[in-house]
Structure 1
Amino acid sequence: MSCIDEMKYEILLSQCSFKEAREYIKKNFKDVVEVPPGYRIFDTFLIGVPPLFVGIEGEDVIIPYTKPCYGTYVMRIEGGDEIEKLRAKR
């Protein structure tokens, strides 16, 4: 995969805290997987304060994404192979 900035994504929540991102994903998506900080998805490492939640909805994944100097966002991205990797973590 390529850099997240080069992927087609939708920002669902912007400039939020790690806690706000976690609560948003937990509240708005039924299929949620807990991952550790540093979990690699789309060749990008997720950073944040545990627990980190990643949502799955249809063919999309919903991730908390922190870009240093810009803040934390909740993003929807087409999941592809990442969905099966996440489900295998259960």
Structure 2
Amino acid sequence: MSCIDNYNHEILLKGSFKECSDYIKKNYKNIREFNPGDEILEGVMLIGLPPIPVAYDDDFVIFPFTKPCYGSHVLRVPLNQYIKSHEKIKETGEKKGILSKLKFW
């Protein structure tokens, strides 16, 4: 299990989930929509109301991230870390459900 703190990231905005989602839609063109529970980085799953916008800009992936007890933020993670994370997910080959990813389950 990974944590967002293990990735180099920059916080672009702190606010409600709706504010974060609207910020991405307003400021970025290359957007793909994901569902809650989708794993955006290894061990980092999206939380929020679908559809959740995820943007790609220059060498970065930008997405709204909700951390319980801390609120929602728009994060910017270098694309090379995003690619490495997805290569590692593909190497394992086994797609697990959300319950298998929780430490206490």
TM-score band by shorter chain is 0.7 to 0.9
TM-score by length of 2: 0.72
Larger Rg: 2
Aligned pair 1:29/2:28, yes or no? yes
Q: Matched residue pairs, number?
A: 83
Higher helix share: 2
Residue 17 (structure 2) pairs with residue 18 (structure 1): yes
Aligned-residue CA RMSD (Å): 2.0
CA distance in structure 2 between the partners assigned to 1:58 and 1:17 by the alignment? 25
Q: Structure 1 segments of 4 or more deviating over 6 A?
A: none
Sequence identity, in percent? 48
> What does 1:1-90 align with in structure 2 at a 5 Å threshold?
2-14=2-14, 16-43=15-42, 44-80=44-80, 81=83
Unaligned runs of 5+ in 1: 86-90
**TM-score relative to the length of structure 1:** 0.83
Aligned to 1:33, what secondary structure does the other structure show?
A: strand
Give the CA deviation at 1:3: 2.1
Larger proportion of strand? 1
